[in-house]
Structure 1
Amino acid sequence: MDSVKQPPRPDGADAPATPPDFEAALLSLRGHRLRPELHLEEVPAPTRIAPYALALTGEVNRTRDPDDLLGSGRFVVLYDPDGQDAWNGEFRAIIMGRARMEPEVAQDPLLGEVGWAWLTDALAQCDAEYHSLSGTVTRVLSETFGGLELRGGEVEIEVRASWTPGTTDLGPHLRAWALLLSQVSGLPPIPDNVSPMSRRR
């Protein structure tokens, strides 16, 4: 994954250089080989929560045709050299993953617990060091109307969470988010002895 650019610098001609810890964190996000169905893009990061930030969006799509979109999500890294009490640290990872679900699956009363287990299992599987984890799993019902007539509906699952990484190595956290997106989107797991390969154009 080569979409992470150079670390942003604060505004101003005399602005200090990017803090070494944040630069190390950004470098740790580069070069990861993720599933070919997952397409990442760097987008403008939030600027009011922390002095330094990075944001990526992800789409799970086998063909890149919008009609074939299986799921989507967001991965945000915040860094405050002074730390924030709510984070219990200097870094904070914020993620979201969303995908459509079959109506019968969406009616499962344990869906929330399953969605949360996907996240915690992904963090454990990727050996991501973290603490202060919190979040929500939401079922979203969207109904489409034409005039007064109900034309159709769809159900989505949405997992939102944030946690404080234990080190500046954020690679495992990126891979855990990618794994969560794959699971939410219904992709089959990749066998342990098979490496994901990027498609060539």
Structure 2
Amino acid sequence: MPANVTSLTPEPFARALQELTEMRWRTGISADEIGSPQRIAPHSVAIAAELVLDDEPLATGRLILLHDPAGNDAWGGTFRLVTYVRAEVDLEMVTDPLLPDVAWSWFTEALESHGCDASALAGTVTASYGRGFGEMDHDPDRAEVELRSSWTPLLDPTHPLTPHLAAWQDLLGQVAGQPPLPPGVASLPVGRIS
């Protein structure tokens, strides 16, 4: 995970990088640092994550942390989190007109449940359906939901990044149909119905 902290790295961003490095992801999530956008903010870091259950990938996502010590009027702060998460869903779900609203509520409820101080929430939810033709005629039909969102977190010594990371991991689980369990509760193994 992120290790490129130098003496020129602003202390708030260095602290966020340290929290990202120390994040303990839930079982089944693997996260790795990837290239981050260089033109949007003076400081940035990005991760890609995948949620896997029984060797089957259930959801993927990317999370980008941007930092501009001078602040950014469009963000309303000095930090911005940008993400997308995507997962396959049942074919019946993709036609449900409430799916976008439900998926957006997964995002906002994840932030609320972890006590994240966040503002300027923005995003889109896309539900898509695909059917193969020609050489792909025998491939099964696919339905996916994708949530793209961004928000301005309040990050300072008393408002850490970790709750935002925990909320994002919960969102990844929700989109995959694997919501977080209360502490002390274990999930039972179940087969996935296609």
Shift of 1:147: 5.3
Q: Which runs of 5+ in 1 are unaligned?
A: 10-15, 197-201
Moved more, 161-170 or 175-184: 161-170
TM-score normalised by L of structure 1: 0.84
Give the RMSD, CA atoms, in angstroms.
Answer: 2.1
Q: After the TM superposition, which residues 20-169 of structure 1 pair with which residues of structure 2 at under 5 Å, given as runs? A: 20-63=11-54, 65=55, 68-146=56-134, 151-168=139-156, 169=160
> Is the Cα contact below 8 Å between 1:59 and 1:73 reproduced in 2?
yes
Q: Structure 1: how far apart are the matches of 2:77 and 2:132?
A: 44
CA deviations 1:94-129 (Å, max 9, x no partner) are: 011100000111121100110000000000111111
Helix, strand or coil at the partner of 2:173: helix
Note closer, same or farther for the CA distance 1:110–1:127 as it changes in structure 2 (3 Å cut): same
Equivalent pairs counted in the alignment come to 184
Do the aligned partners of 1:97 and 1:184 also contact (CA within 8 Å) in 2?
A: yes
Q: Partners in 2 of 1:189 and 1:23 — Cα distance?
A: 29
What is the SS of the residue equivalent to 1:158? Answer: strand
Instruction: Report sequence identity in percent.
Output: 39
The letter for the 1-side match of 2:3 is: K
Q: CA deviation at 1:191?
A: 2.2
Paired with 1:80 and 1:45, the residues of 2 have a C-alpha distance of 14
| CA shift for structure 1 position 145 | 1.8
Select 1:183's aligned residue among 164, 174, 177. Answer: 174
Unaligned runs of 5+ in 2: 188-194
